[in-house]
Amino acid sequence: MINGITDLYVNQPTESTGGTALDRDAFMQLLIAQMKNQDPTEPTSNEQFIAQLAQFSSLEEMQLVNENLVALAALEQGNALMSQLTNASALIGNEVVYNDEFGQAQGGTVDSVRFQDGSVVLQVDGLSVPLSAVLEVTGQSEAPPSDDGSDDGSSEG
């Protein structure tokens, strides 16, 4: 059964480190091959096989924990970005003071909020301003007076 073991090594995809990825099935096949091909005059003890199985189980559990941590980190990053976007959306219609690209304080009204290159960007009076450049929120902008011809709310009857 040496051909089967050779096939395991040859047909497995390599990782970026150049190593061969071995999964549970490959480990079990190697263990069986080790048992079949051991020296009958000096067989491997049960303790050694149990130790190998315990090491494999520990490694497999650590890999599962690592995969879960990576997934959790990605989820946390997504939640943080969504939270930033949600919080920044509360600035729409507010006057803000921000540092422009030259480090000078500027002011304007936030028109919209969006994601750009993994960060939150405000649209302030037609200019893109990173949320991190905002220095101060000064409050609601005053609505311009409307010229729609309506009166002041009093009606004559």
Confidence category of residue 153, pLDDT binned at 50, 70, 90: low
The residue ranking higher by pLDDT, 21 or 23, is 23
Task: Specify the range with the lowest mean pLDDT, choosing from 107-111, 119-123, 149-153.
Answer: 149-153
12 has a pLDDT exceeding 50: no
Residue 27 CB contacts under 8 Å (≥ 6 apart), including other chains: 56
The whole-angstrom distance between residue 63's C-alpha and the CA centroid of its chain comes to 18
* Top CATH class, 91-140: mainly beta
Residue 86 CB contacts under 8 Å (≥ 6 apart), including other chains: none
7 has a pLDDT exceeding 60: no
When the pLDDT of each residue in the chain is averaged and rounded to a whole number, the result is 77
The whole-angstrom distance between residue 3's C-alpha and the CA centroid of its chain comes to 42
62 has a pLDDT exceeding 60: yes
Q: What's the pLDDT score for residue 138? A: 85
Confidence category of residue 15, pLDDT binned at 50, 70, 90: very low
Mean pLDDT of 70-77: 92
The whole-angstrom distance between residue 48's C-alpha and the CA centroid of its chain comes to 41
Mean pLDDT of 84-97: 88
Q: What's the pLDDT score for residue 66? A: 92
Confidence category of residue 151, pLDDT binned at 50, 70, 90: low
Helix or strand or coil: residue 75? helix
Residue 140 CB contacts under 8 Å (≥ 6 apart), including other chains: 93, 94, 95
Mean pLDDT of 8-23: 50
Mean pLDDT of 105-115: 90
Question: Do 120 and 128 touch, CB atoms closer than 8 A?
Answer: no
* Domain boundary assignment for the chain: 2-37+50-80, 91-140
